[in-house]
Structure 1
Amino acid sequence: MKINETGRVGGVSSYQRNMDVPRQEEQKKNRRKDEVSISAEAMEMLQAQDKTTDTERAQKIQDLKSRVSAGTYHVDAEKLAEKLIPYFKQFPES
């Protein structure tokens, strides 16, 4: 005596899979996407800022390179210590 036919079980599960596909597509369509827009004025300001800092930075870097290669660049120990103190103060003493 045969109780279950194997062909029927597969037929039901494939039917259920096909029913889930439209739901998934519907959920994807209903999702909202985040959008960011930057105004033309803001873009102009960013470009102007980049141009000024790029030239100043490039000039400063070139000056430092020339001083290092000539051997005239020296680090001020006091300024270096002042910059490092806040960094080391953030670690608790053990």
Structure 2
Amino acid sequence: MRIHEPNRIGMMNAYNKTGNAQVGKAGKIAMGKDEVNISPEAMEMLKQVEDPDSPQRREKVDLLKKQVEEGTYRVPSEKIAEKFLSFWKNR
């Protein structure tokens, strides 16, 4: 078993050099901003969703939660396919 491989130290030095971040005036590390981009298709889908605070939607969500917990929730694959097709045809 070789403990001191010649390339291992060079690789460690290269790794350590990349970890050095630029430090600003206040001694803090400059960080980039996180960014989220929502596609126009996703925005269109959001517009089609019911009002989340409506009583009808709350009832529907409660019923679905109950079915999922009991293991009785089933969605026909035909309905899923229809929704996908109608969405993609309307683009």
TM-score relative to the length of structure 1: 0.36
TM-score relative to the length of structure 2: 0.37
- Decide which structure has the larger Cα Rg and report it: 1
Structure having the higher helix fraction is 1
